[in-house]
Each structure stands twice: as structure tokens, then as C-alpha cells.
Amino acid sequence: MLNEEVNELVRCVQATQDKQAFTKLYHHYAPRIYSFLVKNKAASEEAEEIAQEALMTLWQKSHLFDPEKSSLSTWLFRVARNKRIDRLRRKILSDSDKKDPSLFPEAEKTADQKIESIQWEAKMRAAIKSLPPEQSLLIKMAFFEGKTHSQISNELSLSLGTVKSRIRLAFSKLRVQVEKDYKAEI
């Protein structure tokens, strides 16, 4: 089928929802879309359904097709490909483990856990305050403000290597402080 003929058939579908024009387009494109999907590892039944859905999109939303932007075959194949991707995503989501703990909200903390959390935060804040000011500032920017090392480097006019080494040094000092506090509690 020539482009001029295809464009004329599409104009008929767009203007008056001409069933004969749509039928010609359907018989021309359905087998091609089906083959494309099967070659891309879609099951035969699924390929047939998606081909029908893609062509129904042409029937229902023909006004979205613009021959100035692409050919009808390009548009239909893109619609079919996107429909296949949507199906695969839905399948992945439906196959996910329904008992996966990451899908459920965290359980409410007990009173003991809340107190431990508050105490831990206080110890960490004290440990961070005990750091030299240049290290303390970098830890606050990186972990409390969520800035990247590059952002910190630009903001403070420091080299990226200096930022990274100061953060590493700060972590070493924090680790020593936390271990010391933990041993004192035992």
C-alpha cells in the first residue's frame, strides 16, 4: 500500500470514521504488527491482542496521528510496542512477592525503641559536634542536607578530593567515638 493511499484512508477514518477505510488499514497492518511482536518474543495470543489494541487505538484516537510527524506504520508500531511494554510492567508488578517486607510500612516503634533512637541521635549529634568544624560542616551538608560531594565542593570552593578525604576522616573519627561509647555502655 502506498503512502498516499494510506494517508487518504487515515483521513477518511479521521473525518468520518469510515469503516471500509479502517478495514483496509486493519487488514494491511494487523499481520505486520503481529509478526513484529512475535519476532520480539511476544506469545502468539498476546501478539494478536496487542495488534488489535494498536489498531483500535487508530480507530478511537485517529486524531492523534499526524502524517507530518511520522508514517502510519511508525505510529502504529510505536503504539504496539508501548502497549507491550505496559503489559510487561503490569505482569512484573503482579508477579512481585506480595509478602515482601519492603512493600509494607514499618511497624510502629515500641517505647523502648523510641527512647533508644532518641539516645542514639543525641550521641551522634554530640559526636558530630566533637569533630573539627570543617569536618562537621561537611557531614551536615552531605547527610542532613543531602548534598552530593560535587555540590559541596562547588559551594565551599574546595577540591572534590578535599571534600571526600575530610568526610572519610570524619567517618573514621565518628566510628572511634561510637565504638568508645558502645564499650562504655557494656
> What would the pLDDT profile of 111-127 be if each residue is shown by its tens digit?
999 998 898 888 888 88
> What would the pLDDT profile of 7-18 be if each residue is shown by its tens digit?
899 888 989 999
Q: Is the pLDDT of residue 137 over 70?
A: yes
User: Chain-wide mean pLDDT for the chain?
Assistant: 90
By percentage, how much of the chain surpasses pLDDT 70? 96
Q: Give the fold, CATH level 3, of 111-185.
A: Arc Repressor Mutant, subunit A (1.10.10)
- Phi and psi angles of residue 109, each rounded to the nearest 5 degrees, phi first: -70, 145
Residue 96 binned pLDDT confidence (cut-offs 50, 70, 90): low
Q: Is the pLDDT of residue 150 over 70?
A: yes
Vertex 84 angle, CA 79 and 85, to 5°: 100
**Domain ranges (residues) in the chain:** 3-95, 111-185
Query: In the 8-state DSSP scheme, what is residue 1?
Result: -
Choices 3.30.565.10, 3.40.50.1860, 1.10.1740.10, 3.40.50.2300: CATH for 3-95: 1.10.1740.10
Question: What is the grid cell recorded at 104?
Answer: 509494607
Average pLDDT of 73-80? 95
Distances (CA, A) of 114 to 5, 121, 181: 72, 11, 19
**CA-CA distance, 132 to 173, in Å (whole number)?**
10
Average pLDDT of 27-51? 95
Distances (CA, A) of 92 to 54, 64, 87, 88, 132: 22, 29, 9, 6, 49
User: What contacts 67, CB < 8 A, 6 or more positions away?
Assistant: 7, 10
**CA-CA distance, 182 to 5, in Å (whole number)?**
80
Q: Is the pLDDT of residue 147 over 70?
A: yes
> What would the pLDDT profile of 45-57 be if each residue is shown by its tens digit?
999 999 999 999 9
Residue 62 binned pLDDT confidence (cut-offs 50, 70, 90): very high
Look-up: residue for cell 511494554?
85
Asked whether 11 and 4 are in contact (CB, 8 A), the reply is no
**CA-CA distance, 18 to 47, in Å (whole number)?**
26
pLDDT of residue 121: 87
Average pLDDT of 66-84? 93
CA dihedral in degrees (16, 22, 25, 28; nearest 10)? -160
Whole-model pTM: value is 0.51
